[in-house]
Structure 1
Amino acid sequence: MTTLSSVQRLALSTALFLLTGCSTADSIATVSPSSETETASISTIVGGGPSGFSEYPFAVSLRTSSNSHFCGGTLLNPRTVLTAAHCIAPNGPDAPEVLRPRNIQVAVGAYLRTSSRFQNVQVTQIRLHPDFVGNTGAPFFNYDSDVALLELAEPQVRAEIVSLISSLSQITPGTPATAIGWGTRQEGGAFLPILLQEVDVPIVSFLSCRESYGDASFPFRAQSITTNMVCAGFPIGGRDSCQGDSGGPLLVDADGKLEQVGIVSFGEGCARPDRPGVYTNVFNYLDWIRNNQF
């Protein structure tokens, strides 16, 4: 039976593989669960700053049984958390290192990452999207269908829930969007922020994103970018999600109401020029999410 520590080592070794294959922080946006100060290669907020105290009450922190943050997520309903599949199974659902429900707790209302005031809720069931493949050593990076649902042991009836994208017009290229999370604030950073961070980035067109990764080395290639993804970032870089932000939301303002349009998934490094962040396109998974939520 796989222990949590071995799963954590796998997450770190997977990240290091990507690093050696590409750069110093090629991203799958998770953080090594073995230590709150150790990052493993994927997304934290770069170029942003602390969010308002109650600005994103639906944001949650995924924790190990030792209370170490390793991914983000959003509260979809009182009993369901929406996150990235690679946070649970970085090497695919059939790999032996998949995290089990007993190994995951969810911190609800955790604006301050280290605060003891929020409630840690045990996960009782996990549903990965059936089309998620993960990092299986394929010719290119395959994080298509990077979406998962977690069931909470206790319903969070007083917590606010997230609203999901209601129209494709909300991910039109150039649309302002906001990524949030407790990830590192620079590529290769060694420390996670105490406060929930936010950064504003514009939506990038599918073709532009695909072209940006067209000249990238293995495992980041144009084939890695699919229509089930949405990209966001500036051509000059400088703002992005980074290690530890995986699973968290990409949000847009829809007539005064925040709606989640993406899930932090991957990217090459953090905030690099011509390397936008890549997010799961929530619109494409609305039916699956609604039919499989707890």
Structure 2
Amino acid sequence: MRAKIKAMGAPIRSLLVAASMLFGLLAVPPAAAVQGGEVATGDGVVVALVHGRTATRAFCSGALLQPRLVVTAAHCVIQNGTTITYPNGLFIATPGADLNNDNIATRARATEVNWVRGYQNRTDTIEANDFAVLTLDKPLGTPIVTRVASAAEVRELQSTRGTVTHLGYGKLALDRDNDGIARKIDLRVRPSSLSFQFPTGSIIQTTGTSTQSICPGDSGGPIVARINDELVLVGVNAGGDTSCIPSYRGSNVATGMVASFYQPIINQGIASIANSAPSEPEQVNYEISGSDVIVTWRAPSSPSTAITGYRVDEVIETKRAYLGVYVADAAGGGVNITSVIPDTPADYAKIEAFDVILAVGGVNVANTDAMLIEMRKKSQGELVTFRIRKASGEIKNVEVRLSEIGDATGFRNVCQTTTELRCQFRTNVGKTKYRLYAVSAKGDGTAYEFNVEIGPGGPPSNIEVVPGVRSIALTWGDPIRVSSVPKSAIRVRVIDSATERMLCEVPLTQYGCTINASAGRYQLAIFVDTPLGRSERIELAEVSIVASEPAKVTRAKIAKVAGKPNLLVTWQPPADNGGSAITGYRVTTTNGISLCRVTGNSTKCTIRSTAVKPGSKLQIFASNEVGESQPKSLTVPR
């Protein structure tokens, strides 16, 4: 969002930073919610603006005013007097969503932007009329704000220094980016605006502190107040203080655009809802027959302009190696991991938020730009060593086998229809991404994307590894990339990638296996094996199995030696050696007097019968490198 640089009459610096998703490489988030605020997960007002349906971090915030209407700051969607083009679409998450765990299928696409013509967003200063309305392709839910605060109610808040609530998905502090969770904070309204040349009645300002304020990423977030037991929308965040950016930390004034002043723009947005571009087709299913794909679907359910047909396009992609983290420059050098995306190579390698990457593949990286350069040299499937400084200060090397992700660089139509809700086309060998969408006079509808693979498909998903006592339990889900091979013909293999030794091989539909493991370290990797070949493998985190003392010896016996004054003691090794080789055995009396010792290769010893009394008890102990077993008792024969 925007930030005021000086207290009076000074220029305003933009805190909106476009989210740069470095797809197969790393993901750099926007300068990220409310500093010093409380969590607002599930709040029915604030929404996150994200690049593409699958993004897990917001670049701006917004307010849900109607089920298909969001208000936000114009500088989030306008640049140089025209709407910003988002290659993967501008999507809005459900109100108060935790972006790490929400159902991305519920996210709505912005199909139309209404704003005050003449607004430019050409500089880093706050401009007048920084207010926009987004029309959505489908409902996001029922808003909890009942209406827009009137101009008179806003003036009353200003004259009485009333309290309003700011909400947003912005930074948490100067050096803490947002974590994908909305926050809110109550601030006092200033009695009058600073000396900005804005239309009278168009802005509202509040005062925070150095630790409680509005931050980058909160742009467009709602400013609400409770008036006569109604939760009303006062405005949207447009400019915040600068306690969340390093360049200046002297002002704690936040500026918002008053919603009632822009009621005509809101009315334009409302009028456009019924005539918007279509949402995505529903109940999409596809089948593979040889090299042909048959796709069926249902028409979008949300009201829109008339649909004139449907198209299926092949998505032309450029592949990149993929790690799966959000990053920012670390203080003192290196790259700070602000968060880790679930089910990615970084997640499987147990890389964590607040880790700092110091080197990639043996090359030191001083900042995110340097890391980007090194990541561009890598390829899918490559095993790369990252030198990482943990939050504890420990420095360690972590090996990660990179996966891949694609940047859409173009589209090729493979099928189109006017009325039939079915398409059949020939696909390629290997993995191909397609998108299905409705066509209308208002433009293309929201696309439903799916992957088709003539081949083995992808590795299992949702993998969990649980070390046990001399065992490792794994569970998994179906691959995200579906194979053209029936599930019944797909097997999952787990190996120790350090030795390439097979540890587990079971049908995919078993969805788990338990590996018997002795003490040691295991670098696990998992993949699927099919009649059409193997998927790429996922390197999982290193697992350590710690040894323990062995169990008791088994089948212990004692007998007299014929013709000699000796006793022969025999036994079998423990059923469980504790995960460590047996190094020796010893036989003692119950009061600890040693009678004999042998190595771990022997399972018998001879003692003189005169050393023990008939009917007394003897004890046999087994030892490994950890310690000694519990004693196995036996009785001396009479």
CA–CA distance in structure 1, aligned partners of residues 34 and 186 of structure 2: 10
RMSD across aligned positions (CA): 3.1
Normalized against structure 1, the TM-score is what?
0.73
Q: 2:173 aligns with which of 164, 171, 186?
A: 186
1:30 CA drift (Å): 2.8
| Gap change, CA 1:186 and 1:37, over 3 Å in 2 | farther
1:200-250 CA-partner distances (Å, limit 9, x unpaired):
10111224x33xxxxxxxxxxx4479642111114x543221011111101
Q: Tell me if 1:196 matches 2:179.
A: no
1:59-81 CA-partner distances (Å, limit 9, x unpaired):
21111015141111122212211
Give the corresponding residue for 1:92.
80
Asked whether the 8 Å contact 1:27–1:242 carries over to 2, the reply is no
Structure 2 gaps of 5+ residues are 7-11, 22-26, 274-638
Greater Cα shift, 115-124 or 195-204: 115-124
Q: 1:263 aligns with which of 213, 231, 236?
A: 236
Q: Secondary structure at the match of 1:239?
A: coil
Asked whether the 8 Å contact 2:241–2:252 carries over to 1, the reply is yes
Q: Which segments of structure 1 move beyond 6 Å, counting only runs of 4 or more?
A: none
Asked whether the 8 Å contact 1:27–1:243 carries over to 2, the reply is no
1:245-287 CA-partner distances (Å, limit 9, x unpaired):
1111011111222111121111341375544101111121123
| Gap change, CA 1:195 and 1:100, over 3 Å in 2 | closer
Q: Tell me if 1:76 matches 2:65.
A: yes
Structure 1 gaps of 5+ residues are 1-10, 211-221
Give the corresponding residue for 1:205.
191
**Which has the bigger relative contact order, CA under 8 A and spacing at least 6?**
1
Asked whether the 8 Å contact 1:61–1:72 carries over to 2, the reply is yes
| Gap change, CA 1:29 and 1:136, over 3 Å in 2 | closer
Give the corresponding residue for 1:228.
202
Give the corresponding residue for 2:162.
175
Q: Tell me if 1:281 matches 2:258.
A: yes
| Gap change, CA 1:292 and 1:152, over 3 Å in 2 | closer
| Gap change, CA 1:101 and 1:73, over 3 Å in 2 | farther
Asked whether the 8 Å contact 2:163–2:188 carries over to 1, the reply is yes
Asked whether the 8 Å contact 1:102–1:124 carries over to 2, the reply is no
Q: Tell me if 1:30 matches 2:16.
A: yes
Q: Structure 1 or 2: larger helix share?
A: 1
Q: Which has the larger radius of gyration?
A: 2
How many percent identity over aligned positions? 21
| Gap change, CA 1:110 and 1:277, over 3 Å in 2 | same
| Gap change, CA 1:291 and 1:122, over 3 Å in 2 | closer
CA–CA distance in structure 2, aligned partners of residues 129 and 86 of structure 1: 12
Asked whether the 8 Å contact 1:200–1:239 carries over to 2, the reply is no
Give the corresponding residue for 2:217.
244
CA–CA distance in structure 1, aligned partners of residues 86 and 114 of structure 2: 11
Q: Tell me if 1:148 matches 2:137.
A: no
Aligned-partner residue type, residue 57 of structure 1: G
Count of aligned residue pairs for this structure pair: 250
| Gap change, CA 1:193 and 1:256, over 3 Å in 2 | farther
